[in-house]
Amino acid sequence: PESTDDDQIPFSLPTKPPARLSQPKLAEADIPVFETTPATDTAKNSTDSA
């Protein structure tokens, strides 16, 4: 039974890493987008003030 568990673990691991890698990438893309939003807001405020 241990052999089967080992076989299932590796299969589950490789299948989960891709999904997890995709999520972290999305989060990283969201971070820059959020950072750009505040930057644009500041630029708009500066233009409004000017």
Query: Domain-by-domain residue ranges, the chain?
Result: 1-38
pLDDT of residue 33: 54
Q: The whole model's pTM is what?
A: 0.15
pLDDT of residue 40: 59
pLDDT of the chain along its 50 residues, tens only? 566 555 555 555 555 555 555 555 555 555 555 555 555 566 566 666 55
Q: Is 1 exposed, middle or buried (CB count within 10 Å of its CB: 0-12, 13-18, 19+)?
A: exposed
pLDDT of residue 6: 56
